[in-house]
Amino acid sequence: MAYFDAGNMRFEDIAATGNAETLFELGLMYATGRNGEPDVVAAHKWLNIAAFRGVEAAKHHREALAAEMTREEIAQAQREARDWITRH
């Protein structure tokens, strides 16, 4: 699994690499609140993108996370994921 030190980088800069493992790691980071408060919408977004890019484990984490989210949160995460994929 890819592990990165965010240091002074913005998370969008890290995600812009498009590396599926990095996107998966970013999703886990948001899910666990590793660098702040957990953000389920952002976590679902990045896990969804990682799953789209072929990371099998991301699918399982995304499904587990979705079980704890509202429909509105899931819809927002899916919109954000589609927007990101369209731009990248």
User: For 16-56, how does the pLDDT look when each residue is reduced to its tens digit (9 = 90+)?
Assistant: 777 899 999 999 999 999 878 999 999 999 999 999 999 99
Q: What phi and psi, each to the nearest 5 degrees, are found at residue 69?
A: -105, 160
Predicted TM-score (pTM) of this structure: 0.82
| pLDDT classification of 3: cutoffs 50, 70, 90 | very low
Instruction: Please report, for residues 9, 15, 50, the alpha-carbon distance to residue 84 in angstroms, rounded to integers and kept in the order given.
Output: 18, 10, 12
Tokens of 68: 């704890």
Instruction: Please report, for residues 19, 46, 63, 67, 75, the alpha-carbon distance to residue 16 in angstroms, rounded to integers and kept in the order given.
Output: 8, 12, 24, 28, 22
Q: What phi and psi, each to the nearest 5 degrees, are found at residue 43?
A: -60, -50
Tokens of 19: 């590396």
On average, the pLDDT of the chain sits at: 87
